[in-house]
Amino acid sequence: MSGADNLLQIAQLRGGYSEVDIIHGIDLAVAPGEIVTIAGTNGAGKSTLVKALLGLLPRVAGTIHLGGRDITALSAEDRFDAGLAYVPQVANVFPSLTVCENLLVVRGVANIKRRMDEVLADFPALVERLPQPASNLSGGERQQLAFARALMPSPRIMVLDEPTAALAPSLVGKVFDMVQKLPAAGVAVLMVEQRARQALQISQQGYILDQGRCVLQGPAQGLLADERMAQLYLGNH
């Protein structure tokens, strides 16, 4: 697929927090309807890459295009408005607000109550929880709420940072099921995930980072089939 056909196109992205680069010349693409996984060991630069994409890294060089539009110079808020959604690993809901309030405080949503009903159709477990504080939710329910919040503004692509972190093993499969349904809702996915093998199994493409560089990329099934690389970078999950 050519660069013009990609929903997200990152080219020669580099940057860091001071004068030292943490990510070095990364090229990455996500096509419409794709699930793409970023994997790598701790300290590989995955979180830094996500922050650069979201406009949260102090110093960045290279280019980021979303839907053909150059968003490299945009603020984090403007990237959100351009169609970039983000579900962080922690602090992804407001625990003191009710489930309903968590959905209604999302900015930039037209006909917000109607949109909430549309989103909740895919998360029936949340409907009966609407009047309850988000702090009462289980880990799995909280992650459902985080996904629902991110879907409220009808994003074009959702960036997921370790969506299965800190969840009981019995819930991991349910989270990956939620991820798999996103493309059918018109939302592409870029996912950082420590359970790299499981993430790649539901992905079309994968990128493996090491020391801030992309050392391997390609179709997800091909990465899984490369046993030597899998042992080096993907672990046992």
**DSSP per position, 176-225:** HHHHHHTGGGT-EEEEE-SSHHHHHHT-SEEEEEETTEEEEEEEHHHHHH
First CA to last CA distance, the chain: 30
What tokens does 17 get? 């927090």
Considering only CA atoms, which of 47, 46, 54, 61 is closest in space to residue 75?
54
| Whole-number Å distance between alpha carbons of 30 and 36 | 7
CA–CA gap between residue 145 and residue 207 (Å, rounded):
28
Tens-digit pLDDT profile for residues 195-226: 999 999 999 999 999 999 999 899 999 998 88
Residue-wise pLDDT for 129-164, tens only, equals 999 999 999 888 999 999 999 999 999 999 999 999
One pLDDT digit (tens) per residue for the chain, 237 residues: 445 689 999 999 999 888 888 999 999 999 999 999 999 888 899 999 999 999 998 889 999 999 999 999 999 999 999 999 999 887 789 999 999 999 999 988 989 999 999 999 999 999 999 999 999 998 889 999 999 999 999 999 999 999 998 788 888 999 999 999 999 999 999 999 989 999 999 999 999 999 999 998 999 999 988 877 777 767 665
* Annotated domain spans of the chain: 3-233
Entry pTM: 0.92
CATH 3.40.50.10490 fits 3-233, yes or no: no
DSSP, res 165: T
Contact 181, 147 (CB under 8 A): no
Element (H, E) at 175: helix 169-181
Torsion angle, CA of 218/5/81/52, rounded to 10 degrees?
Answer: 40
Mean pLDDT taken over the chain: 91
